[in-house]
Amino acid sequence: MTTHATGSEGWWAAKRGPEWFRENDSACRVTFWWRDPAGDETTSDVRRVWLYITGVTDHHQQCAPQSLSRIAGTDVWFWQTTLDATWRGSYCFIPSANAQDFADTVFATATPDRAALREGWRKLLPHALSDPLNPQSWKGGRGHAVSALELPDAPVQPGWNAHDIPYTPPVCIQWRSAILNNSRRVWIYTTGDDNSDDRPLAVLLDGQFWAESMPVWPALAALTRDGQLPPAVYVLIDAIDTAHRSRELPCNADFWQAVQQELLPDVFAIAPFSDRPERTLVAGQSFGGLSSLYAGLHWPERFGCVLSQSGSYWWPHRGAQQDGELIEQLKRGEVTAKTLRILLEAGLREPQIFRANQALLTQLQHTQQPVIWRQVDGGHDALCWRGGLTAGLMTLWQSL
């Protein structure tokens, strides 16, 4: 067996992204590699290679920022850690010429200041790079490049291994809203051969992500073909940008009035669907998860099924030790979930959101309908959400 010197062309040619081996039945030792295109420390000005692993080294964990280490005299940077064998998550590299990119308060204590940590990552992430060694890379939900790491016991993600299945392309329309005074793209996707007005409807928030960054079409087509999802109409709504998303998704009545009064009639003219709430599902992640439940609680006669992933139920009290507005509405009896079918999902590695979802679950469990709860070994991560999205659709529509 030929052994190549560390950092040689032959050595790099064997790399395919992070390397792992089992430490035991439940954990894997993982090594991340990054190749400095400028060479070793004598020719490169790179002083840090920050490693942002969602749910491991990010601001959600409130831990000190992690940098890879250079192997002296080479172009090789690396970092090692131990992760559960069930781990699935995204990561990216951020090379920097600075010795330090975070405020001093981030390193002042064992538990860094969350606001300073978040601000440091916010400034760095626009410069993030995916792993050039890893073929599984895409543009993440925050707009920067990321790559995938899936360890051997990661849960199956229904439909997402169907890369080559044929499907009818979605129709993309421009929705000009008088209520919201703006315009955006909306994708309309139909599955199966049923063209009746009894088809179930799914409204997917952050539609631009599921249409472009991580296209959902093959997964939905495969699950429909295999009988795991019914023929349906899917409506994917573009968030426009971060400013619109932050204003429209968190508990915004105008947004949902516009969807019902303006958008859905236009969609129906193109692809008829059922108006029955038990056949209508709204799904979202983060602010979208919050928005999905808000829609169900305030218009249960229209949206009878809710799929909420990593819902931001702390809103509007980021970082505060108090319940969010939607939880308070439930406590005050202003809304009730008793007619809804609800699936809540949150990651163990997104502590604030996980706690808020558990507080919400406590309130929802007082209702007559059972609430489906799933906790995921992952962070605030679309790589986890994609499997939860398809599995959630299957669960909520299983009785149709």
Angle between helices 382-396 and 217-225 (to 10 degrees): 30
Domains of the chain: 9-150 (2.60.40.10), 171-396 (3.40.50.1820)
Tens-digit pLDDT profile for residues 171-192: 999 999 999 999 999 999 999 9
Whose CA is closest to 337, among 313, 368, 307, 358? 368
Q: How far is CA 219 from CA 37, 86, 190, in A?
A: 36, 22, 13
Specify the pLDDT at position 108.
76
Nearest to 124 by CA among 56, 66, 70: 66
Q: How many CA atoms lie within 13 A of 12 on its CB side?
A: 15
Alpha carbon distance 361, 385 (integer Å) = 19
pTM for the complete prediction?
0.93
The number of angstroms, rounded, from the C-alpha of 90 to the middle of its chain's C-alpha atoms is 10
Cis peptide before 200 (omega within 30 of 0): no
Q: What is the pLDDT of residues 29-46, one digit of tens each?
A: 999 999 999 999 999 999
Selection from 145, 24, 152, 142 nearest residue 88 by Cα: 152
Interatomic CA distance for residues 123 and 145, integer angstroms = 14
Query: What is the C-alpha radius of gyration for the chain, rounded to an integer number of angstroms?
Result: 22
d(CA 287, CA 249): 6
Q: Note the pLDDT of residue 141.
A: 64
Contacts for 220 with CB less than 8 Å, ≥ 6 apart: 159, 167, 189, 191, 229, 234, 390, 393
Question: Each residue's pLDDT tens digit in the chain (400 positions)?
Answer: 567 899 999 999 999 999 999 999 999 999 999 999 999 999 999 999 999 999 999 877 778 899 999 999 999 999 999 999 999 999 999 999 999 999 888 887 777 888 888 899 999 999 999 999 999 988 876 678 999 999 999 999 999 998 889 999 999 999 999 999 999 999 999 999 888 899 999 999 999 999 999 999 999 999 999 999 999 999 999 999 999 999 999 999 999 999 999 999 999 999 999 999 999 999 999 999 999 999 999 999 999 999 999 999 999 998 778 899 999 999 999 999 999 999 999 999 999 999 999 999 999 988 767 899 999 988 999 999 999 999 999 999 997 7
CB 220 within 8 A of CB 268: no
65-116 pLDDT, tens per residue?
999 999 999 999 999 999 999 999 999 999 999 999 998 888 877 778 888 8
